[in-house]
Amino acid sequence: MATFLYRIGRGAFRRRRLVTLLWAVILGAAGAGAATAPAAGDDGTSFMPGIEAQRAFDLIGERFPGSDADGADARIVFVAPDGEKVTAAGHRAAIDAFVATAGDGPQVASAVSPFTANAVSEDASTAYATVTYEVSSGDLTDAGRTALEKAVDEARDSGLTVEAGGSALSSQPAAGGAAEAVGIGLAAVVLLITFGSLAAAGLPLLTAVVGVGISIGTILALGSALGLSMTTGTLASMLGLAVGIDYALFVVSRYREERENGHDPREAAGLAVGTAGSAVVFAGLTVVIALAGLSVVGVPMLTKMGLSAAGAVVVGVLVALTLVPALLGMWPDAVLSRTARKRGTAAARHTGGAGGGGSRWARFVLRRPVTVLLACVAGLGVLALPAADLRLGMPGAEAKPVSTTERRAYDALAEGFGPGFNGPLTIVADVRGASDPEAAATTVADAIRDTGGVVSVSPPRFNPEGDTALFSAVPATAPNDERTKDLVQTIRAERGGLEDGTGATFEVTGSTAMNIDVAQALQDALVPYLSVIVLLSLLLLMLVFRSVLVPVKAAVGFLLSVLASLGAVVAVFQWGWGAGLLGVEQTGPIMSLMPIFLVGIVFGLAMDYEVFLVSRMREAYVHGERPAQAVVSGFRHSARVVAAAAVIMIAVFSGFVGSGESMIKTIGFGLAVAVLFDAFVVRMAFVPAVLALLGDKAWWLPRLLDGLLPRVDVEGAGLTGRSAPASGDRPAREPVRT
């Protein structure tokens, strides 16, 4: 592996103009494809095959073909001024005028007046009109939205408070450009401090932006064909930018080190790609495994997000291995420190990059391994405690800022009609097996109406064939209330008795039931998903480090960091600790996709730091150093760069906390704190403490596995003849075997 990548690095350096031109062509092609591709539609983030709510939704589409269950809708809420009623003549006329105007809009299927649909609150202070469309929200034209917005504005001129909910006018999250700009700016500062050179700081930023541009351009170009949403692209850009900067950072750092060791520019580029590039390849593979593993969960949208982000990581790896050495060939001395450029690289080996702080910290941990280990486990354990109270859900309009009309419409409906009105349950009854279909449907509706926690049930509505009935049940509690979840389970538990008595069966769906089922399915899928990625990554790390205990230690450290990050997410977004500082206006259940997505990404990133840091320790150990000294050597060469890489990732992820999209905000925060815990607690303290206690046993590998595992030479042993030894001329050591 190292020799192969060494040749790639030298080849890219030698053919730098051709390599740079090829990447420019790829970037231009991706940009042209994005500019000419049609806009992507809705990716169906709430749907998951196999769950009851999805089966019921599909049955509605099959038995009620004219209803267009996927059609966009708008619920326009009218609130009368204090002391007045919406039924007053002037207000009623304004509402009727709105219904007439909205009904004549483009793509509108129907507009229903609140006075004919019994959609007026008991005190007549609030009413709502429902506008449905013939197409989904993704296919709704600007003309359709503009016509509805104009009708809403006209109604507001009458003196009524008018707010709009539903999918037709749902506000889209802002594009991630501002977040990426913040992340890049902070990364530039960190890189400048780390390298002390504008060129060295700018090169990782430039190559990362190229990689992200190619990835996002490709996602936009394929968005319409593959159903990739803005959320998919945002997450891919988030990860692509973070790993792109980090991977380039490690190659540039190793190049500077090899130049300080006296190698000429072309040889230094080859050695940098052969050594640091090997770590980049395997670190990238762990991230790709974790992201691609999201496909085993069974959520189509999650699969798209994972595969798109994995593609961005692959692009970042390829850029680091080829474009970075090509650009180093363009300006071979520009990335060196000012001292190295003035005095010459031979003199710089005695002045640069010794990583004194890293060595001192490693020796501190080696003197007190038990104390440091216990402090790490206890500290992360305390931070993980809130994770025990994790509640999953799918926050809707109630999680939006109060500045949005969707949130104000949600609050107005909850106040006028009750908290459960914003999340009605839809029941579809299959009465084909009943002798009297109408009586069977009525019996089912009456039984659900009599269930505790149900406020009201609408009359059953039959399809043209008369074999399926549809009705709604309004809970007494809000959609994300635990009592609503219990109510759904209670209603479903009544199915067996009703089926025996009527010959009819029913299923529960609607957005509330869909979110409940998705959360449960994701919770059930978490353990199998963890098993898959942990097993595959353990095998990969065993191949990289030729050790059994080092990969196990890496997995344990990952569990500590991910549980602590989940605890922090719960404390902020569910309990509300410091929520105001992050712009979180409504606390509640954590988005059901969040834990499994966070676990996947954090696992990949945790293995990134494991490979980068421990590979230098193994490199020193294989070249003859004792275990404790190898730990110090690994920190001397890698600690500063790993810390800089972690700070950059934290900066990039923190930039997305300002997103208006709740999922992006939560994931950005979760990833930022996860990197903080994993890089600065687990990898910088937990890892050296464990290795100090294990000694030579850390590199133990059974003879059977040693014979079965292929040798990939990540530590660059095959390049020893080309590179100056890390310390002295010690002979290479074989791993411990039994």
User: pLDDT (tens digit, 9 = 90+) per residue, 376-400?
Assistant: 999 999 999 999 988 887 777 777 7
634-645 confidence digits (pLDDT tens): 898 888 888 888
Residue type (1 letter), 489:
Q
401-447 confidence digits (pLDDT tens): 788 888 899 999 999 999 999 889 999 999 998 889 999 999 999 99
Pick from 418, 416, 440, 443: which is nearest to 430 by CA? 440
What is the distance between the alpha carbons of residues 152 and 79, in angstroms, rounded to a whole number? 13
Q: 533 CB contacts (<8 Å, ≥6 apart)?
A: 289, 290, 293, 600, 603
Question: In the numeric block, which tokens belong to residue 89?
Answer: 């003549």
Q: 695 CB contacts (<8 Å, ≥6 apart)?
A: 627, 628
- Structure confidence at residue 346 as a pLDDT band (50, 70, 90): very low
What is the distance between the alpha carbons of residues 524 and 180, in angstroms, rounded to a whole number? 34
Q: What is the length of the chain?
A: 738
241 by Cβ neighbours in 10 Å (0-12 / 13-18 / 19+) ranks as buried
Residue type (1 letter), 166:
G
Among 102-111, 340-349, 397-406, name the one with the lowest average pLDDT.
Answer: 340-349
- Structure confidence at residue 718 as a pLDDT band (50, 70, 90): low
Q: What is the pLDDT of residue 27?
A: 94
What is the distance between the alpha carbons of residues 164 and 75, in angstroms, rounded to a whole number? 6
- Element counts in the chain: helices (H) and strands (E): 26, 13
Is-contact 690 657, C-beta < 8 A?
Answer: no
Among 524-538, 544-558, 707-721, name the one with the lowest average pLDDT.
Answer: 707-721
What is the distance between the alpha carbons of residues 69 and 662, in angstroms, rounded to a whole number? 25
Is the pLDDT at 282 greater than 60, yes or no? Answer: yes
What is the distance between the alpha carbons of residues 526 and 560, in angstroms, rounded to a whole number? 16
Residue type (1 letter), 420:
G
What is the distance between the alpha carbons of residues 461 and 458, in angstroms, rounded to a whole number? 9
What is the distance between the alpha carbons of residues 673 and 676, in angstroms, rounded to a whole number? 5
472 by Cβ neighbours in 10 Å (0-12 / 13-18 / 19+) ranks as middle
What is the distance between the alpha carbons of residues 567 and 563, in angstroms, rounded to a whole number? 6
718 by Cβ neighbours in 10 Å (0-12 / 13-18 / 19+) ranks as middle
Output the DSSP codes for 316-339: HHHIIIIIHHHHHHHSTTTTS-HH
What is the distance between the alpha carbons of residues 615 and 430, in angstroms, rounded to a whole number? 61
Q: 169 CB contacts (<8 Å, ≥6 apart)?
A: 74, 145, 148, 149, 405, 406
Q: What is the pLDDT of residue 340?
A: 67
Question: In the numeric block, which tokens belong to residue 311?
Answer: 């593609």
Query: Beta 392-393 vs 590-591: how paired, if at all?
Result: parallel
Distances (CA, A) of 735 to 366, 690, 703: 21, 18, 10
Pick from 304, 305, 296: which is nearest to 525 by CA? 296
Is the pLDDT at 355 greater than 80, yes or no? Answer: no
